[in-house]
A and B are shown apart, each in its own frame.
Chain A
Amino acid sequence: MNSNGYSADEMMAVEAARRLDNGTVCFVGIGLPSLAANLARRTHAPGCVLVYESGTIGAKPSQLPLSIGDGELAETADAVVSVPEMFAYWLQGRRIGVGFLGAAQIDRHGNLNSTVIGEYAAPNVRLPGGGGAPEIATSVENVFVMLRHSRRAFVPRLDFMTSVGDNVRVVVTDLAILEPRADELTLVAVHPGVAVDDVVAATGWELRVADGVHETAPPTGDELDALRALETKGSSAWQ
């Protein structure tokens, strides 16, 4: 919580939600992406279609689920399909408009690592791995990345490339908004209270800065109300 009365995570969720249109079909992972997509559905984009990789299409959870397969997702979905069908017909079939990804590391091209820190064969940290990410990154035209900004995460060279950045359209962080310009992630906006230098300092490569970086609009009261109504006792776990 900053002095403006909202947290950095809330700023991230709001900025990601604003990029979803009414009618967008959105492949959602757990955590901040799920928060963002559910917020969009409760504010400006009630027709946003939430697809979770567990097979639930058009899920309308009343609270934020802890896992991508919570029972409420199935109960409120328009359709529930098997996992092979989800990945073959719906994802590979290019029925999804926006896919969210997170990661432990990102490089200047939007390539992501969620596999290992260190050597693959003898890792310092074994991360969960790619899951749906490798094919979300290539089968969905608009990939939105949500990631907290730090030099540990924004690295000149990935330890492992789990998914490719070709379709990354935006990176929403707790400090700023980055978009690809001429194949390289470029700073286009900073959140209220954040200086361009702060973002440059938190990036592990020489960050390209767009002409006329603008300031993100802070979350509105309506956005914050809707966001907080979604948070449950389990939701602290997405931190």
Chain B
Amino acid sequence: MILPLDDAVDELVRDGDVVALEGFTHLIPHAAGHELIRRGKRELTLVRMTPDVVYDQLVGMGCARKLVFSWGGNPGVGSLHRFRDAVEHGWPQPLELEEHSHAGMAAAYAAGASNLPFGVLRGYSGGDLPARTRVESVTCPFTGEELAAVPAIRPDVGVVHAQQADRHGNVQLWGILGVQKEVVLASARSIVTVEEIVNELKLRPGGAVLPSWVVGAVALAPSGAHPSYAHGYYERDNDFYVAWDAISRDRGRFREWMKRHVLDTADVEEYRASLAAEVTAA
């Protein structure tokens, strides 16, 4: 089902849902994150391995009650200031944390996609994390080995960005694939934003295809991964990640930026135009 992004978000995401936006440095669904902010979604449990700038924005705008994650930083730059402010000072509201390792989250998504209640791995051994998160130990029935068990991730809504969909809503993504296939298959509902809608998908080496019948809604959002990148379409906007450090450091400057570029814009096209206008003015 191909829908405008605002309709897809309205129809598929409810306040209080468990929502996972995935994309491991590549194809991060920023346009969809912005739409969650514009539609005023609240009390979400946000799930994401690497809650970078996209979740800094959602957390700072008060959309989240809880965060399930494994690494929360601005890649190559430093801290996520809105995430830190929420955890350290409860601003704009307290943020409950469920913290994992990457290996644990990956196993939990794969378990969710596989309709299993938990993922199993050799992990979480020795440190202080197990006392602070949902991990248990299980005994292998064959060898007697002790292994770590993490509860499957089964989001209400999984959200990813891809390069292409066809007119029937079949989706293809390629390049670094992250956990995008797993999150769509683990979720009860899903939204996929795409760079382009083509007549026919041409299969790519190393590509992943999501047939239309496992995807809830497809929405066209060219440049919808900015400031991350879409392999074959545009590169990562490294300068934006560096600039975000200063924008996000101050509560007032953050709010003003979000109002100007997200709340006061209607869609990804207007968002990009407002950023371009700012660069021209400067």
Q: Which of A74, A81, A238 interacts with B26 by CB under 8 Å?
A: A74
Asked if A53 and B238 sit within 8 Å, CB to CB, the answer is no
Shortest beta-carbon distance from A210 to chain B in Å = 26
- Chain B residues with Cβ below 8 Å from A88 are 103, 106-107, 110, 121
- Identify the closest chain B residue to A132 (Cβ): B102
Within 8 A of A (CB), among B30-89: 49-50, 69-73, 75-77, 79-80, 83-84, 87-88
Cβ-based interface call for B177 (8 A) = yes
Cβ-based interface call for B143 (8 A) = no
Please, could you name 24 A-B residue pairs with CB atoms under 8 Å apart, sorted by A? A54-B176, A66-B75, A66-B76, A67-B25, A67-B236, A69-B24, A83-B49, A84-B182, A87-B103, A87-B121, A115-B129, A120-B132, A123-B88, A128-B71, A129-B71, A130-B101, A130-B127, A131-B70, A135-B103, A135-B121, A135-B122, A138-B122, A138-B125, A162-B128
Within 8 A of A (CB), among B192-240: 206, 208, 229, 231, 235-236, 238
Shortest beta-carbon distance from B243 to chain A in Å = 11
- Chain B residues with Cβ below 8 Å from A135 are 101-103, 121-123
Asked if A160 and B87 sit within 8 Å, CB to CB, the answer is no
| Additional A-B contact list (15), CB under 8 Å, known A128-B73, A138-B126, A166-B126 | A54-B24, A65-B76, A67-B75, A69-B75, A71-B236, A82-B181, A84-B106, A84-B110, A88-B103, A123-B87, A126-B84, A131-B71, A161-B127, A234-B76, A237-B242
Shortest beta-carbon distance from B168 to chain A in Å = 25
- Chain B residues with Cβ below 8 Å from A81 are 177
CA distance A110 to B88 in the complex (A): 27
Given A129-B71, A139-B122, A164-B126, is A71 in contact with B235 using a C-beta cutoff of 8 Å?
yes
Name B's interface SS. loop
What residues make up the interface of B, taking CB atoms closer than 8 Å to A? 24-26, 49-50, 69-73, 75-77, 79-80, 83-84, 87-88, 99, 101-103, 106-107, 109-110, 121-129, 132, 175-179, 181-182, 206, 208, 229, 231, 235-236, 238, 241-242
Asked if A134 and B24 sit within 8 Å, CB to CB, the answer is no
- Chain B residues with Cβ below 8 Å from A166 are 126
Shortest beta-carbon distance from A171 to chain B in Å = 18
Asked if B241 and A138 sit within 8 Å, CB to CB, the answer is no
- Chain A residues with Cβ below 8 Å from B127 are 111, 130, 134, 160-164
- Identify the closest chain B residue to A34 (Cβ): B76
Asked if B88 and A30 sit within 8 Å, CB to CB, the answer is no
For A53, A92, A128, which residue has the most chain B Cβ atoms within 10 angstroms? A128
Q: How many residues from A make CB contacts under 8 Å with B?
A: 52
- Chain A residues with Cβ below 8 Å from B80 are 128
For A132, A139, A238, which residue has the most chain B Cβ atoms within 10 angstroms? A132
Asked if A83 and B24 sit within 8 Å, CB to CB, the answer is yes
- Chain B residues with Cβ below 8 Å from A91 are 103
Asked if B178 and A83 sit within 8 Å, CB to CB, the answer is yes
Asked if A161 and B76 sit within 8 Å, CB to CB, the answer is no
- Chain A residues with Cβ below 8 Å from B231 are 71, 74
Shortest beta-carbon distance from A133 to chain B in Å = 7
Report, nearest first, the 5 A-B pairs whose CB atoms are least far apart.
A69-B25, A128-B73, A131-B71, A164-B126, A66-B76
CA distance A127 to B231 in the complex (A): 30
- Chain B residues with Cβ below 8 Å from A65 are 76
Cβ-based interface call for A99 (8 A) = no
Cβ-based interface call for A224 (8 A) = no
Q: Which of A70, A128, A161 interacts with B25 by CB under 8 Å?
A: A70
- Chain A residues with Cβ below 8 Å from B76 are 30-31, 65-67, 234, 237-238
Cβ-based interface call for A219 (8 A) = no
- Identify the closest chain A residue to B120 (Cβ): A88
Asked if A82 and B87 sit within 8 Å, CB to CB, the answer is no
Shortest beta-carbon distance from B124 to chain A in Å = 6
Cβ-based interface call for A2 (8 A) = no
Given A55-B24, A120-B132, is A80 in contact with B103 using a C-beta cutoff of 8 Å?
no
Cβ-based interface call for A125 (8 A) = yes
For B129, B178, B206, B208, which residue has the most chain A Cβ atoms within 10 angstroms? B129
Asked if B236 and A70 sit within 8 Å, CB to CB, the answer is yes
CA distance A54 to B50 in the complex (A): 11
For A123, A134, A138, which residue has the most chain B Cβ atoms within 10 angstroms? A134
For B71, B88, B176, which residue has the most chain A Cβ atoms within 10 angstroms? B176
- Chain A residues with Cβ below 8 Å from B24 are 54-55, 69, 83
- Chain B residues with Cβ below 8 Å from A220 are none
- Chain A residues with Cβ below 8 Å from B182 are 82, 84
Asked if A125 and B84 sit within 8 Å, CB to CB, the answer is yes
CA distance A84 to B72 in the complex (A): 19
